[in-house]
Structure formats: structure tokens, C-alpha cells
Structure 1
Amino acid sequence: MTKTCDIVIIGGGIAGISLAARCAPMMSVTCLERETSLGYHSTSRSAAVYIPNYGTALLRRLIGMSGDVLAGDAIVDGGVTSHRGELALVTEAEADALAAYMDGSTGLAEITPHEAQELCPILRTEPFVSAVYEASAADIDVDKLFQGFIRMARQAGADIHTGQEVLSLTKTGSTWRIETKTDRFETPIVVNAAGAWAGELAMHAKASPITITPCRRSAAMIPLADGLDPSPWPMIASISEAWYAKPDAGRLMVSPADQDPIAPCDAWVDDMVLAEGIDRFEKATTVTVTRVEQQWAGLRSFAPDHDPVVGFDPVATGFFWLAGQGGNGIQTAPALSQLAADLITGAAVQDAVSDVDLISGLLPERFI
């Protein structure tokens, strides 16, 4: 039997689910996830932090627009953020990276290595010439946020299906036909929220040939010596993103901040890459890593300019892009999902995101 609805969202990560939550009160929504659990490849493997001054100028705007929603009650009562702070550490060779980081930033404080050590006592001072402290950085409870969006979507009537890999995507007239192993769907609007598979899905739809590159990001959880309580420490990172670490339930999550392109897959840790990242962390701190309690890898996917791709495709009518968040899908989800829903439904784009430059910087036709 063929099922019909106003919109089919392909991808059940934070992008697809948050959009389903926004659209479901206004239209019939079906969300299809290829895996047997939602958010499997990226969302569930993310240790997201809200960092307002992170990424491109466009991303910083989207992150800033999402801040009040993440901290407030709109998605989850009590919000999903808690104070953390972030220290970006600068070596003598990273002057250019520092200048780029500070360009267009707000609310940052440049401090000395000794002042950085007071905030995070495991830091060495001798490798660094300065540090940048962002007091507004905050931990994000990813699961709490994700479950909040799932609950919103289902309460508004969205049909969310797992284990539904799209095998065929064709269009006749104004109708898209989607086939999975067990079901068929017809809809006038298909949303490409397929994450690492967004490029492949666009090819099946004969949409614009926009390259979405999946990249691996690895991490490990390491224990600390008895007596060390990392809970008040900020997240610490190389300003050029050669490594980072953040407290997590009495331990430290350490990442080499790798961004190695790979084919869409169930990502695995490259042991050498992880070891090199841990070595860089050890050289920056007084911690000697003798044991890894857990390690994992996830996927983050990028458009060529590292900004998200959001909007209707200029070639394939009714095909909507919501892809290329590049590891920022969690902290931009409130703003991007609302903007995408407004564009899809034809509603007046909310004032906070109505700037023409912002919208044009997201639309897929910028690559055509």
C-alpha cells in the first residue's frame, strides 16, 4: 500500500527530527531513518558544546540564534545547556589561527597561559603564548535535546520510521515516489536530511550536484588520577583544532579533532589518528594517559564552503536540502529547523532569521 503525506523527511538525526517537530503542527509529516535507531551515525555520538564564536560567520549567527532556545523551555523544560566555558590555547606558531578566531568574534577574553592554568590546573604554561576564554560556552545535553524534538514531532502527529532505507526515489509530475524494503510513499516535498548520505540521495533524485563530504571525528574517554575533579574545568582546545578535551562525568573526553574524509559508513576509530591526538593533548597538559575507557567515532558532513545547505533545489522541484551542518547540527538545530520549516511552508521567515544575506548564504543555488 502506498502512503501519502505532505512531506517526507529522509534522515532521522537531529536535522530531520527537529524539522519534523517544526512542520508537523502544520502538515502531514513522515520521517524515514535507514538505521534501526534514530540519530545513529552523528547525533548519538556527539558531545556537543554550545560555542557562540565557533565556525564561519554564518554559522556563528545560527549558533547565536539558537542559544536562547537551547537554554530555555521551548524544547525541554529547564533547557539543555549548563555552563562550561572554553579555553582555546595559542602557541607561538598559531598567530594566524588566533587572528582568524578573533575576527568578528564577541565576548572573548584573551588571557595569559598562567591565567588559563588557573581555570584548568592540568594545563602546562610553557607551550603557549596566550589563550582565549569564552565564558558563554556551555555543555549541551544532546540526548535531552534530541528526545525533546522527537517528543514534539510525535505529539504533533509526525510518523517516524526506523529501518527504512530509501531504495528508490523518483518523480512523476509533481509527485515524488519513495520506496523502501517494506513501504512506498508519495509526497510533493522530499527533504534531504540524510547527513553523510546527502550527496548520494541528491544523485538519486537527480538534484543539483552539490558535494557533501562526510568526515570522521574520533574521541576517547580517559580516567584521571584520584583526587582530580574536572567538573569545574572549561573545555580546552588547540586554537587551530589539533585536539580538544572536555570534562565528562569525572573523566575527560579527548579528541584529535580529526576531520578525515571517508565514504558514508558506520564510522570507526583510526587508532593511529587517535593516538596522535592523545599525544598532542599530553604535551599540552600534565596528564599521562595510561588507559582509554571508551573510544568511538562519528560522522560530520561538509559542503564545499563549510556552511549548511538549506533550501529548495533549483533543479529538482520539491527537493529540499537540509544538509552539510559540519558538526554544528546540534547547536544550530533550533534556528535551522525553524528557518527550514518557514521556507518549506511558505510562512513568513521569522524576524530573527530574515536577513537576506543569511538566507542566500544557505540556499543550494549558491553552488550553481
Structure 2
Amino acid sequence: MRPFHYDKPATATDAVTNFRPGAQYFAGGTTMVDLMKLDVMKPARLIDISGLEKGRYDFIKWSGKSLRIGALTPMTKLADDDKVRARVPMLSDALWLAASPQIRNMARIGGNVLQRTRCPYFRDTSYEQCNKRKPGSGCAALDGGVTRHHAVLGTSDKCIATYPGDFAQALVALDAVVEILGEDGPRSLRFADLHVLPEARPDRETTLAPSDLIIAFSIEDADFPRSKYLKIRDRESYAYALASTASALRMDGNTIADVRLGLGGVATTPWRAREAEAALRGGPATEAQFARAADIAFAGASTTDENAFKVELGKRTMVRSLLETARMEG
């Protein structure tokens, strides 16, 4: 690990105003410390935001069916919140299935959605070819590398690294909004517009400026008691998704009045299956309909020999998640 300066500002405004090139924010540090040890990230300055304004950004607030969550809320706190578990269980599910208890206690919601890929060619600096680490160097995964865990949706000829998180799939499905404090003051951004596809610049993973600070997430309609997050992985605990689905339903009898779908483990960004949703709305909640929607969701998949299984796995995961969600009370 390389030497760095350490700052701990008192307020969010101080953190943004005093931001300098080469700096990085951190709170729980559960991803940052790993990547610094691996020499993948080399910040000259770390800005500790964990205690900004004595907990001002650590909160869970309901107003009717709207939910607002502070970016410094620990994963465990949100996962264990009784109202969240009752009113929108897929948020709690996604956090419970995301990591070990120790990491959930340390990690904060804001940092969780910004975690970097687990692609081995990104995390191992002995590989020269990584367009995320060294723009323009190529992609070792695409150049004969091991690709079993890589993405099949949202890929490009520059990068096929999978977005690793779980919580973000629920946020994108729920039309969440990100509240940001930047050099020009506060602003809001659709969560769906936070992450960017790995096209010309795979190293640029979000639309945030370096000094931008996420302060909260808001969900206008978070009242989805019939919702869940299903995660399929190589082992039952502490593993990243091979395929996952965040699904939410509102039913009118056996007719789907509304549906939300976020897919994980299969895409380069948190993936909203909007065309599949459109195919389901107004139709019956049957396995045949769910299978048809899953075909639509994966119609644009691009695979390698090693990760082609993810298309069928992703479809089955989506169908199972929808079937289980439809059986819930709501």
C-alpha cells in the first residue's frame, strides 16, 4: 500500500469544497482498502466521510409510500429495518445476501453502489491489458482470458466486466433517485443514469465528477410488499452473483398491474429489464408469461464460450424470482 494523506472533514460542504485531484472519498472502506492493497487504486489523499455532521446522512425516513435513505446508512441498519422488510423486502433481501455480517456492519449504502468490478484482470496488476485500469491497453478477458463470471448484457468490444453489487439492482428497479452534493451545489440524478456502459471509456464507470458526493437516495414509490431479491451463486454465502433478479409486483387478481425488474450478475451495470416489464404488464402471472418475458430480457445477450450458460441461468433466475414474488402477500 502506498503512502497517502488522510482528511476527516466535519461537513459534506467541507469535503466537496476542499476536494483536490487525486483524492478519494471513503466511509466503511470495504472496497477501497482492498483495491489499495492490490495497488489498483492509488489515491494521494483519502477523505473520511464516515462521521459527517454527526450522523446527518445516516437515516431511513418514510413519508407515505416514499422512502429516503442517507448515503452513510450502514448496510446492516437498512437490511434490519422492520418497515423496509415489510414494505419493500427486496431492498432488505439484496443487502442480506450481499456480504458477510462484518462487512455489512462497516459498509455504507452510498459506497456500496459504487463498488468496483471483481474482474480478476482488473484486480491483478500483473495483467497489462485492462481498459478499466489502463485505458487503451486492451481487455485480457476478451483476448483469450477466463470469462465464466463476466457479463452478457451491456458489453462492448472494450470490456465485459460484470457489475458486482446486489443493492443497486433493487434501486434501479424501484426508479430510485440519487441526491448528490457537488462543487455547484446539490442536484438529483436518476439512479438509472448513475452508471455508464463500458463503451469508449470503460475506466469511467459513473457520471459523477471526482468531487461529487452522494448524500442520499430517494424512492418515490417504495411500497412493494410483494417483492424479493433472488441471488444464484457458486456457494450459499459470501459470493458474488452468477445471476440475480430484483422483482416487484402489484397484482389485480391474477393480472399484473405493475412490475419492476432489476438484473444482476449478468450485466456491466445495474440492469433494468424494461422491455420485459412492458411485456408483462396487463397480462396473467403465469410461468409461461414469465418465461416469455425472460426471453425478451436476454434477447440482446452477447456471450463467450465460458459464460454462455449465464443466459439460460439468468432466464431461469428471473422466472423463479417472479413466480416466488407472485405467491407473496401484497
> TM-score, length-normalised on structure 2?
0.27
- Choose 1 or 2 for highest CA Rg: 1
User: Higher strand share goes to which structure?
Assistant: 1
> TM-score, length-normalised on structure 1?
0.25
Q: Which has the higher contact order (CA 8 A, sep 6+)?
A: 1
